[in-house]
Chains A and B, each alone.
Chain A
Amino acid sequence: MAVTAVSGVVNRPIPRLRRLEDERWLALSLLTPTAILLGLFIAYPFFEGVMLSMTSTRVGIDGQFVGLKNFHKIWNDSIFRTSVWNTFWYTGVTTVFKLALGLWLAMLLNRHFRGKALVRAFILLPFIIPTVLSTFAWKWMFDPTFSVINWTLFQLGIITQRINWLGDPDLAMTSIIIVNIWRGVPFFAISLLAGLQTISPELQEAAAIDGARPWQRFWHVTWPLLLPVTMVVVLFSVIQTFADFQLVYILTGGGPANATHLFATYAYQIGIGTGLLSEGAAISLAMFPFLFLIVVVQLLYIRRVETR
C-alpha cells in the first residue's frame, strides 16, 4: 500500500488505526454493530422464546421446566393441526398466484407507454396502505349483509343468493387468500420489474433476429436471467406469508370454527387470549422447523442457479 511504500518520510498512522488495514479487523469492526443488533433483537428473543416454550409459564405465573410437554400437547391438538394445514395451503396458493400475477404485471410495466411512472406508482398502492386499514376495507366488501361484491354480482344477475364470503369455511379461506394476493402482487411486480430492467435489451434483440418467437424469448432469455431475483422475492414472500397475522386476525379472527387459523393467529389466541404463554410460544416456534426447511431449500437452489 502507498503508506507503507513511502517509509520513514511521512507520519506513520498510529498502530491502533493500522490494525484496520488488516481486512479481517476491518470486517470485524464493520460487522459488529449489525451483529449486536441481530443478537439483541433476533437471537436473544428467539432464545427466550425457546426457553419459554419449555416451561409451564402462564401470564403472571412463573412456570417450571417441563421439557417438550407443550410440543407434545399441541401435536395432539386438532386446532393446531388445522392451523398447520391452513398455513401451508395459504402460503402455497398465494405464492403461486402472487408470482404469476406479479411477473405478468412486471412484463407489462417493462414496456414503454404514456404515463408509465404514474401507473407504476399506483401499482404500489396496496403495498403502501397499512395492512390493517386495507383489510378493514376488504372486511366491508366481504360483509355477509352489505358486501359490495355480492351487490354487484346480484345486480349483474350472476347470483340470486348472497355469497357467504367469510362465513363458509372454504370461502373464508379463499377470501383471505384473495386479500393476501391483492396485497402481495405489487411487491412481486416492482421487484421483478427491477430485475427485468437489468436484462440488456440487446439480448432480446439478438434472439429476435435469430427468429425467436416472443414466448421463446421469454422462456430462454428472460426467465433464466430473472430467476435469481425471482427466487429471492419468493423467499421473502414465503417467510412473510407463513407468519402472517393481521390479515386473518381482522377478517375472521381464525373462524368460522377455526377454518382460517394460521400459526400466528392461533399462537396469539393461546398465548394472549388464554394466558398460556409457554404453549403460545411453542406454537410460534413450531413454525421454525418448517420455515427453516423452506429457506434452506430455496437458498441452496439460489446458489445453484447463481453458480450455473
Chain B
Amino acid sequence: MAMTKRRSVLKLAGGTALGGMAGILATGRTPAYAQQKTVHWLKWVDFVPATDQMFRRELLPQAEKDLGMKINLETVNGNDLQPRLTAGIQSGSGPDVIMSFNSYTHLYANSVVDVAALAEEVGKREGGIYKYAQAICSNGKGVYMGMPWTVIGGMIAYRKSWLDEVGATKFPDTWESYREVAKKLKAKGRPFGQTLGHTFGDAPGFTYPYMWSWGGKEVEADGKTVVINSKATVDSVKFMTALWKEGMDEGGLAWDDTNNNRAFLSQTISATLNGASIYIESLRKPDQYKTEKGMPLNKDILHAPLPKGPAGQFGFHLLQSNMVMKYSKNQDAAKQFLSWLHHEANYRKFFESQKGFATPCTAKWENDKLWDADPVMTPYKVAAKLGQAPGFAGPPDAKAQEGLSKYIITDMYAKAVQGMPAEESVKWAESELKKIYSA
C-alpha cells in the first residue's frame, strides 16, 4: 500500500476547498462563511401555523438575501420563552432577538438593548404607537426595551344562533345583561365558558379587565400604594361568584388556554373570551365543525369585546415585542433585521398571514382593507387601542409582572368561586400584593 503522509492529505483538502485547515492557514484569513453575520431569533410557535411556514419559506430567505446575513428562526411554546430568557441572560449567551410577552420587557430591562430609534422611526411612519404598546415596551423615559411587534387580541367568540334563541340579538354589553343571558343559556345546557386556572393567556385576559371595569385596581398611579381592597373589587368578586354558579361552565377552574377552544368547537359552551383561533380553526375545517343543524360552524360565530362595568370597558391582550439581548454579539445585525421586518411590505406579509389574529401596534393598520375582508374579524382591529396593562393604575413594571405571574388576581376570583367569602379573598389578594409592592 502506498504511504500517504498526513501533511499531503491536509494540503489536498485545502486545495480542493478553501475551507480546509491548510487553506485557511495559507491565506491567513478566516473563511468567508465565518464572516457572515448570523442573527438567531427566538419566538413563540404561532397559533396560526401558516405564519411560521411563511416565515421559513418566504420572508426569512428574503431577509437573508436583502441583508446578507443568516437568520436562524427558532420557535418554542409560549410558556417556554421565560426559561430560555432566564438561561440566556444568566449564562450570557443565547438567541440575539427574543420575543417578549407583555411586560417581560420590564422584567428583563437590564438585560436588553434600547431600540427607541427604531420604535420612533416606525411610530412616525405609521401614525404613532398605541399607548398600550408604549406602556409595555418603554420605561416612559424614552427607552424602549422591546420593539412592539403585535397584539394578540382577546375578544368574546359567541354563537349567534344560540344567543338569538334566548332573545339576545347582540352580545350583552354590560355585566348585568351578560349574567342574564348566561343564566338562560346555562339552563339549556349551553353555559358561557371562561378559565380561572393558572394559564398565561385567557385567565388574566378575563380577570384583569373584569376587575378594572368594576373600578378595582391593584395600585395607585404611584405604583406603590396597594388599593385592591375596595368596595368595587369586593362587589366584582361577589358578582363573579354568583355569575359562576348561574351562567358559567364550572369546569373552567381547570382550563388552560386550549380548553375553551375545544369546548366551544365541540359545542358545549356558547361564548368564551379568546383570540381569534376558534373562528380561524372553524374556517380551516368547515366540514369538521358543524352546528347541530348541519350548518358550517364558522357561519354562526361572531366576536364582541368584554362587557362594560360601572367603571368602563377594558381589555388586556397579549402584547408581543422583540427584545435585542445585551449579551448578543450581533446587536447591530439584530437591529438591522428588526428594522427590515418592520418595513411595511415585509410586515404586511406577516399581518396578512395572520388574517386578523394579530393586531399591529401602530395606528396606521387600523384602517387596513384586511379588516373589511371578513366582518367577523373586524372587532379585533381595535384590540391594541383599547388594551390596558396589569399593574394599573401604576406602570406595568416588574412588580406588576410578579403579581401577574403569581396569578393573584385570577386566584382571588378562583378562591371566591370555590367558596371563600368575597371579603376574605380580596384581603388575601391585598396581603399578597402588599408583599410584592413593599419589597
* B300 within 8 A of partner (CB): no
Q: Which A residues from 119 to 166 make CB contacts under 8 A with B?
A: 142-146, 162, 164-166
Chain A, residue nearest B82 (CB):
A272
Contacting A at CB under 8 A, from B63-120, are 82-83, 85-86, 89-90, 107-108, 110-111
Within the complex, the shortest CB–CB distance from A3 to chain B, in Å, comes to: 42
Q: How far is it, in angstroms, between the C-alpha of A256 and the C-alpha of B432 when the chains are bound?
A: 17
**Complex Cα–Cα for A252 and B266 (A):** 22
- Assuming the contacts A145-B259, A275-B108, asked whether A59 and B402 have C-beta atoms less than 8 A apart, the reply is no
A60-B89, A273-B82, A276-B402 known; A164 vs B253 contact (CB < 8 Å): yes
Contact: B418 with A256, CB < 8 Å?
A: yes
A254 part of interface (Cβ distance < 8 Å)? yes
Residue pair A274, B259 in contact (C-beta under 8 Å)? no
Residue A9 is within 8 A (CB to CB) of chain B in the complex: no
Interface residue ranges of A37-67 to B (CB < 8 Å): 58-61
Cα distance, A273 to B79, chains bound together (Å): 9
B401 part of interface (Cβ distance < 8 Å): yes
A274 to B406, Cβ gap below 8 A?
yes
The verdict on B268 contacting chain A, using a C-beta distance below 8 Å, is yes
- Which residues of chain B have C-beta atoms less than 8 A from A254's C-beta? 198
Indicate if the CB atoms of A59 and B90 lie closer than 8 Å: yes
Question: In the assembly, what is the distance between CA of A258 and CA of B259, in Å?
Answer: 19
Instruction: Given A258-B411, A269-B405, answer yes or no on A144-B198 (Cβ-Cβ < 8 Å).
Output: no
Within A246-300, the residues touching B (CB, 8 Å) are 252-258, 269-277
- By the criterion CB–CB under 8 Å, are A145 and B414 in contact? no
Q: Which residue of A lies closest to B251 (CB)?
A: A144
A interface residue count range (under 10 / 10 to 19 / 20 to 34 / 35 or more)? 35 or more
* Residue from A59, A142, A146, A276 in contact with B89 in the complex, judged by beta carbons closer than 8 Å: A59
A168–B253 CA distance with the chains assembled, in angstroms: 7
- For the complex, give the distance between the alpha carbons of A165 and B196 in Å: 14
- Is B255 among interface residues, defined by CB-CB distance under 8 A? yes
The answer to the question of B254 belonging to the interface, with a C-beta cut-off of 8 Å to chain A, is: yes
- The number of inter-chain residue pairs (CB within 8 angstroms) is 118
Q: Is the CB of B250 within 8 A of A256?
A: no
**Which chain A residues numbered 158 to 185 have a C-beta less than 8 Å away from chain B?**
162, 164-169, 172
Give the CA-CA distance A59 to B92 in the complex, in Å.
11
A145 and B428 CA atoms in complex are apart in Å by: 30
Q: Which of A71-79, A85-93, A95-103, A104-112 contacts B (4 or more CB under 8 A)?
A: A71-79
A interface majority secondary structure? loop
> Which single member of B111, B250, B266, B326 contacts A146 (CB below 8 Å)?
B266
**CB-CB under 8 A for A255 and B197, given A59-B86, A164-B253, A273-B405:** yes
B411 touches A167 (CB 8 A): no
User: Is there contact, CB below 8 Å, between A167 and B108?
Assistant: no
User: 1/0 per position for A180-210, CB-CB distance to B under 8 A?
Assistant: 0000000000000000000000000000000
Contact present for B254 and A59 (CB under 8 Å): no
A144 near B254 with CB under 8 A, answer yes
Q: Are B268 and A167 in contact (CB under 8 A)?
A: no
Q: A78-B428, A275-B398 are in contact. Are A60 and B108 (CB under 8 A)?
A: yes
Query: Which A residues are CB-close (under 8 A) to B198?
Result: 252-256
> A145-B259, A272-B86 known; A78 and B431 CB under 8 Å?
yes
Q: Decide: A79 and B253 in contact? CB cutoff 8 A.
A: no
Interface string of B400-433 (1 = CB under 8 A from A): 0110011100010011001000000000100110
Q: Are B406 and A145 in contact (CB under 8 A)?
A: no
Find chain A residues with CB under 8 A from B235 CB. Answer: none
In the complex, whether B285 has a CB less than 8 A from a CB of chain A is: no
Determine if B232 is an interface residue (Cβ-Cβ < 8 Å): no
Determine if B259 and A144 form an interchain contact, defined as CB atoms under 8 angstroms apart.
Answer: yes
In A218-269, which residues have CB < 8 Å from any B CB?
Answer: 252-258, 269
Q: Whole-angstrom distance from the CB of A270 to the nearest CB of chain B?
A: 8
The reply to whether the CB of B125 lies closer than 8 angstroms to some CB of chain A is no
- B residues 229-263 in Cβ contact with A at 8 Å: 249-256, 259, 262-263
The one of A162, A169, A274, A275 in contact with B418, judged by C-beta atoms closer than 8 angstroms, is A169
- Determine the distance from Cα of A162 to Cα of B86 in the docked complex, in whole angstroms: 40
Q: Please, which residue of chain A has its CB at the minimum distance from the CB of B436? A: A274
Pair A165/B402 contact, Cβ less than 8 Å: no
A164-B253, A273-B405 as given contacts; A145 in contact with B266, CB under 8 Å: yes
Q: Taking the complex as formed, is B330 at the interface, i.e. its CB lies under 8 A from any CB of chain A?
A: no
Question: Given A59-B108, A253-B199, A273-B82: A164 and B254 within 8 A (CB)?
Answer: yes
Question: Using Cβ atoms and an 8 Å threshold, which residues of chain A touch B256?
Answer: 253
Query: In the complex, what residues of B have CB within 8 A of residue A166's CB?
Result: 197, 253-254
Give the residues in chain B near A73, CB-CB below 8 Å: 435, 439
| B263 and A59 contacting across the interface, CB-CB below 8 Å | no
Are A256 and B414 in contact, CB atoms less than 8 angstroms apart? yes
The closest CB in chain B to the CB of A170 belongs to B418
Chain A residues within 8 Å of B89, by CB: 59-60
Expressed in whole angstroms, the Cα–Cα distance for A275 and B439 within the complex equals: 14
Q: Which residue from chain B places its CB closest to the CB of A142 in the assembled complex?
A: B254
Q: Do A162 and B108 touch across chains, with their CB atoms under 8 A apart?
A: no
A76: chain B residues within 8 A (beta carbon): 435
Q: Which A residues touch B85, using CB under 8 A?
A: 59
Assembled-state Cα–Cα distance A258/B431 (Å): 15
A153 to chain B, nearest CB (A): 15
> From residue B246, how far is it (CB to closest CB) to chain A in Å?
16
A254 to B250 alpha-carbon distance, docked (Å): 18
Structural contact, A167 and B197, CB atoms closer than 8 A: yes
- Known contacts being A78-B432, A79-B406, A274-B406, is A255 close to B414, with CB within 8 Å? yes
Report B-chain residues with C-beta under 8 Å of the C-beta of A144. Answer: 249, 251-255, 259, 263
What is the chain B residue whose CB lies nearest that of A261?
B198
> Chain B CB within 10 Å — which of A59, A143, A169, A252 has the most?
A59
A257 near B414: Cβ-Cβ < 8 Å = yes
Distance A167 CA – B402 CA, assembled complex (angstroms): 24
Give bound CA distance, A269 to B79, whole Å: 11
Q: Are A167 and B252 in contact, with the CB atoms below 8 A?
A: yes
In the bound complex, residues from chain A placing their C-beta under 8 Å from that of B90 are: 59-60, 277
25 cross-chain CB contacts under 8 A: A76-B435, A79-B432, A143-B259, A143-B262, A144-B249, A144-B252, A144-B263, A146-B266, A164-B250, A164-B251, A167-B250, A167-B251, A169-B418, A252-B197, A253-B199, A254-B198, A255-B253, A255-B411, A257-B196, A270-B406, A272-B86, A273-B82, A274-B402, A276-B402, A277-B86
Residues of A near any B CB (own CB < 8 A)? 58-61, 73, 76-79, 142-146, 162, 164-169, 172, 252-258, 269-277
- 3 tightest A-B contacts by CB? A144-B251, A167-B253, A60-B111
9 additional A-B pairs beyond A253-B198, A271-B86, A274-B107, beta carbons within 8 Å, are A73-B435, A78-B432, A145-B259, A146-B266, A167-B251, A169-B418, A255-B414, A258-B411, A273-B406
